[in-house]
Amino acid sequence: MGFFHVDESIHQRGRFTLGAFAYSEDPLDPFVSEAQRGNGLIPGVDEFKSGIRMDHSPQHKAAREALHSLISEHCRIGLVVAPNHPRGLLGREALRGLDKILSTNRFRTSKHNVFFDEGIFAETSVAGEVATRLSSLEGCKFHFEQRSHEILGLQVADLIAHTCATMLMAQLGLVTKKVRIGDNSGYSPDRGVELEFELWSRVRWNFFAAAPPHPDTWKSQLDFQVDVESRGLHISDALDEQIRNAAVDRFGKMYLGCIH
């Protein structure tokens, strides 16, 4: 059985809400619990939230690094982008996004548990009705209005949503920040890079995407890209055109070649 965890990041200034799917073939909760305990947090009591000021909480900063490693090793990523208003729109669009992911990608199993963080749906009864109309969702068992301190895998989806929403805000020109790239990057640890580059480098390999083109067809290393738009990115028809274009530019294709 596969496991989807879904959380969102809302951005009033950017006029969008980004929902993130964290998919794993094994339960994520034991991995998250280990990441928390290894960094001084108590599972079920403490909760990782991406919005916390990391410079005020060394434990959460260390837990964030552990969760990024968890994502790299265990997760595939899908995204849905919708307007930030009305609030309940994201839930419907998330189900359509899940339908796209399930109908265009291969999975080890046809049965999936799907956990949605609380507040994503205005009415869970409506969510159930929408889900029954999408044939690819027949193998899914839905768990709506879940709490992330109880369903620990939602904390992974929270980190992915925050990471990708920040990348989209930067694409829109609303985030301009440089950070120290740090150790194990292949660069000098003190080198300053754009925040969105540092975030992108962490997640670029994990998106649901079509297979890359054969190397024999490449004209250059830049052709080592995968198509995310057709497999792992769903954009609401109600989204502003400027934001839609920015989302496609940022996530529609993912370059997997050398960055050093």
pLDDT in tens, the chain (260 residues): 899 999 999 999 999 999 999 999 999 999 999 999 998 889 988 888 887 777 777 888 898 999 999 999 999 999 999 999 987 899 999 999 999 999 999 999 999 999 999 999 877 777 777 788 888 899 999 999 999 999 999 999 999 999 999 999 999 999 988 887 666 555 666 677 899 999 999 999 999 999 999 999 999 988 999 999 999 999 999 999 999 999 999 999 999 998 86
Q: What is the dihedral of CA 31, 93, 102, 216, to 10 degrees?
A: -90
Both tokens of 60, joined, read: 């959460």
Residue 239 to residue 82: CA distance in whole angstroms: 6
Residues 143 and 120: beta-carbon distance below 8 Å: no
Task: Report which residue type is found at 57.
Answer: S
pLDDT of residue 179: 83
- Strand residues in the chain grouped as ranges (E): 2-11, 16-24, 76-82, 112-117, 140-146, 178-180, 192-194, 225-227, 233-235, 253-255
Which residues touch 44 (CB under 8 Å, ≥6 apart)? 149, 150
| Parent domain of 169 | 2-254
- Whether 198 is in a domain gets the answer yes
- Whether 123 is in a domain gets the answer yes
- Whether 260 is in a domain gets the answer no
For helices 241-251 and 153-171, give the axis angle rounded to 10 degrees. 110
Nearest alpha carbon to residue 177 among 198, 163, 149: 198
- Whether 259 is in a domain gets the answer no
- Whether 44 is in a domain gets the answer yes
pLDDT of residue 185: 57
pLDDT of residue 133: 83
Domains: count for the chain: 1
- Whether 214 is in a domain gets the answer yes
pLDDT of residue 87: 79
pLDDT of residue 49: 83
Burial pattern 92-120, b for ≥16 Cβ within 10 A else e, equals bbbbbbbbbbbeeeeeeeeebbbbbbeeb
Q: 């990024």: which residue's tokens? A: 68
pLDDT of residue 135: 82
- Whether 179 is in a domain gets the answer yes
Residues 146 and 154: beta-carbon distance below 8 Å: yes
Task: Report which residue type is found at 141.
Answer: K
- Give me the CATH number covering residue 18: 3.30.420.10
- Whether 69 is in a domain gets the answer yes
